[in-house]
Amino acid sequence: MQKTTKIIVTHVIVGVILILTFLAVKMIGSSKKSASGMPGMMPPANSMAGGGAGGGGAGNGGTAKPGSSTSKEAAAGNGTSGAGAGNANGGTGMGTNDAGKNGMAAAGNTMPGNANSNTSGKKSQTVTPVRTVVANEVILQDYVMTSGDIQTQTSIEVFPSIGGTVVQMNVSLGSPVKKGEVIGYIDPSEPGSYYAKSPITCPISGSILSAPAKPGQKVQASSVITKIGDIENLQISAKIPERYVAELAVGQKAEIKLEAYPDVSFSASVVRISPVVDSATRTKEIILNFDKKDSRINAGMFAKVKLFTSAYKGTFAIGQDSIVSNSDKNYLFVVNDDDTVSKREVTLGKNVDGYYQILSGIEFGETVVTEGMLTLYEGAKVRDIGK
């Protein structure tokens, strides 16, 4: 019985020894394969070494720090190596300096630059395309828009010398007449009494401006028979709102547009200003004469009047779209000699048709951005695409 037990124990021990031997051989084989440069395999020294440390190697010009199991601190190189293998029983560490045999370095893998450094480069500044204008004096001409009627400068109403019935009219609308000319007759006769016909004469020379009375019409001595005027010399009667009265002056120029000729502008000048304001309409009447005679202009036409009032001089002016507003402040961008921009606070003046006077903040001769300013900032680089 004891003999049998000893045999079994012996077999167990032998079996354990064989297994351990097999495992040791297998591990040695794996270690050799790793040392031969098989990619992706860690050296067995990491699991077997009891305290040995391998010496760091150098790969493709890089320098590794000695003593590290896996060197990651190559100063400048295309690969990293230097894994150490230690003795399983402790003792002496065994290292390799062959970068090509390090399990951590796969053949053909490269690492540009320093393994622990980031590539850095200076970012180029963005150049913004803009349009600019040189600050020079700009005259802003203010104006008032209104309307008026074209009429003769001289006109008079014609009345009969006696009441009666119109029996004859020798003229029609537009007919030319001369002073003293008979243009019709009135019969003052009544039932039971007969009188001689009374003539209607022209008090001035000119043209018939209103349709005359018709034959058979009953009139009184106070009835208007017709109206005569000088159509060679025309004027415009226009009404100006009360809020603009302070800007009115004799001699001011105006641009006249007619419905019949919408593409033609006629010039006129203020010759008379009413001394009173109409309390019903809160307007003041002005009279303008045409600077030149033109046969296309007729009495009775409707006129659109653009009356030029104040002229603002001595300052630079710019479109309101070029002004950058922030809260209650306004800014313009000025181009410097190095093609960068400076943000200037400016003071605005009068506004005429979307153009503002720049009272302060800009000097004559400076280059001001007019388009493309929405993305600009202090010191931004710009390029004038208008040049």
Looking at residue 102, what is its pLDDT? Answer: 39
Instruction: Give per-residue pLDDT as tens, 17-40.
Output: 878 777 777 776 655 544 444 444
| Tens-digit pLDDT profile for residues 62-80 | 333 433 333 333 333 333 3
User: What are the pLDDT digits (tens) for 177-197?
Assistant: 999 999 999 999 988 888 999
- 19 vs 168, higher pLDDT: 168
Residue 230 has pLDDT above 70, yes or no: yes
Confidence of residue 327 (pLDDT cuts 50, 70, 90): confident
pLDDT of 145 above 90: yes
Higher pLDDT, 76 or 252: 252
- Lowest model confidence (mean pLDDT) among 4-13, 55-64, 171-180: 55-64
Element (H, E) at 166: strand 164-169
3-class DSSP state of 23 = helix
Q: State the Cα angle at 66 between 63 and 67, rounded to 5°.
A: 150
Tell me what the pLDDT averaged over the chain comes to. 79
How many CB atoms lie under 10 A from the CB of residue 5?
Answer: 9
State the DSSP string of 257-315.
Answer: EETTEEEEEEEEEEEEE-SS-BTTTTEEEEEEEESS--TT--TT-EEEEEEEEEEEEEE
For residues 208-224, give the mean pLDDT.
Answer: 92
- The answer, yes or no, to whether residue 2 has pLDDT greater than 80, is no
Between 58 and 309, the more confident residue is: 309
Rounding to the nearest 10 degrees, give the CA dihedral for residues 108, 114, 115, 120.
-110
193 in helix, strand or coil? Answer: strand
